[in-house]
Structure 1
């Protein structure tokens, strides 16, 4: 068995579903079910004995200790995190608690648990920490992509909290010998993503004939990674990664935000045309996010060289699958758009204005 934290969130839930689609090894899924955690995403696993779900907090040391002692997992795959930059600007405390204190709690619990295993169990145990490219800071237009040796320069409360967690993971390896692995991924997209992030927000708003808010000039660049490709990379790192090492995971797809929005609009024009005209008519430029990093890019050659992983999806194939999934799963979208979600969107974008 493996323990997955945050397995009801976007990337975690996709990982759980992909894992159990091709593997009979059970998963113990620990998730607090905050606003972005959604058990409906895992409805297909209802009654499946390979999926053991526990609602709980990674900061609850007694709970984590009890789960490790009872289920005796061979690995911890740690997804649980607050991850939305805008929310971190409005409320950084939650990010420090979950991303820093939560990771510390898990590391200490894992260290104590591993110490009680026999020699073979200690050698086999792994702690895989899922992190982000945002810890590296912002790139200029001509700068080389982020390699694993890039200096950390986090610029938002979110990225600073993830950078802190990365440093804790590294320290627990070098100080205590905990066999850790870290992955730093680029922007994930795909099915089952909560519609506060760029791509699902554009899809959901366009289908509702609402404005499509684009920060600043829309030319901020990100590398885009289809979520199933990311899950495949995590499986490879867990199976064959070298303890203590970091692996950058990217899609080799640098795109400006405004180009992403136009691509989504074009696909919706094809798949779900709107009577008033192209969905692109809804694009509105709004005031930029404070401290908005200009460009991220991932150099994913290390994981390809050492573990043989490359993304299977192009951006063109992945974005088409993504848009189609949201069209086919309107009830899921409606269910996650709670009152709290609507209040958050109103609060975040109202102050920025509608732009032109």
Structure 2
């Protein structure tokens, strides 16, 4: 085949769409972009690729065996990168069934399709093929204030239906390497932020609520700590793992930016005050409101990405201050996108605070 293809699942979502953009800009690959288009994956995000013939969008579910088999047979991709997942912790507490269906059953179906497809490939294509599964640091559970950061050897102790479903999918992916030899890779990342993040997650929720003069809700005492990773840095790590990672291995991806929620919201408010000095809501910090903590709220996450740095030479290029400023500016400049993605289903559902 003259063209080389890669199948990206969940490519209309936040991290997936940023990765599709990177793949189009920095490689010669044509991306088959498969997304179910649930509330967090939407056509407004895919529109950035509308006039690019190196992105082929397909609406569909990773649990649809017939569709996956058809795409693999038709395009013969050299890799599958699986972003498709239900990811919001609050939603997993309110309704865990969809998380089990997509994150566990969907990943299983994708692995089965990949295994059967991989077995049919010629020797050189079999050697080249990769299945890269994108996961989260939440599978490791919660850290105390003085505990060392998560490494690839940290035991899994998930504390929410969301993180439990992702832990299960990670185990499935690992088992397909050890049992069948399928050349799998897993990345576990810290909290992402940046362009195209659906406005139920902490950073875009704070920005959009501040625009509108709405309360900025912070769970509990606001001292929950996360390691913040700019999404473009994450995508560069994924691309590097896909190109040079060792099959069967797991790589942690972190931003080297541990901050608690109070610091984060305060910094966002300061940036908004600077960028929107005529806003009637300045100083935006006055909008902060503490709300009841969510059940099972993990206290601290931290990622040790020494393995990724040592073996593959990766490190983040965006620091927390520059990354937050870029993010706030993007949401200021793209309010039409925000209004589009929040106009229907999102407005009918409870706004959560995820971190």
TM-score of the superposed pair, with normalisation by structure 1 = 0.96
Match of 2:65 in 1: 61
Matched, 1:230 2:240: no
Q: In the TM superposition, what are the counterparts of 1:125-274 in structure 2 within 5 Å?
A: 125-273=129-277, 274=279
Give, in whole Å, the separation in 2 of the partners of 1:244 and 1:106: 17
2:291 pairs with 286, 289, 299, which one?
Answer: 286
CA 276–316 in structure 1, closer or farther in 2 if over 3 Å, else same: closer
Give, in whole Å, the separation in 2 of the partners of 1:210 and 1:23: 42
Unmatched 5+ stretches in structure 1: 350-356
1:265-291 CA-to-partner distances (Å, cap 9, x unmatched) read 000001013235300000000000100
Superposition RMSD on alpha carbons, in Å?
A: 1.0
Aligned length: 348
Give, in whole Å, the separation in 2 of the partners of 1:239 and 1:137: 29
Residue 223 of structure 1 deviates from its aligned partner by 0.2
1:44-69 CA-to-partner distances (Å, cap 9, x unmatched) read 32132111110000000011001000
Give, in whole Å, the separation in 2 of the partners of 1:310 and 1:132: 18
Matched, 1:22 2:26: yes
Residue 245 of structure 1 deviates from its aligned partner by 0.2
Matched, 1:320 2:325: yes
Match of 1:295 in 2: 300
1:24-53 CA-to-partner distances (Å, cap 9, x unmatched) read 210001100000012222323213211111
Q: In the TM superposition, what are the counterparts of 1:108-123 in structure 2 within 5 Å?
A: 108-123=112-127
2:341 pairs with 336, 344, 347, which one?
Answer: 336
Give, in whole Å, the separation in 1 of the partners of 2:46 and 2:101: 26
Give, in whole Å, the separation in 2 of the partners of 1:127 and 1:27: 15
Give, in whole Å, the separation in 1 of the partners of 2:108 and 2:221: 38
Q: Does structure 2 conserve the Cα–Cα contact (< 8 Å) formed by 1:216 and 1:286?
A: yes
1:308-332 CA-to-partner distances (Å, cap 9, x unmatched) read 0000000011000000000001100
TM-score of the superposed pair, with normalisation by structure 2 = 0.97
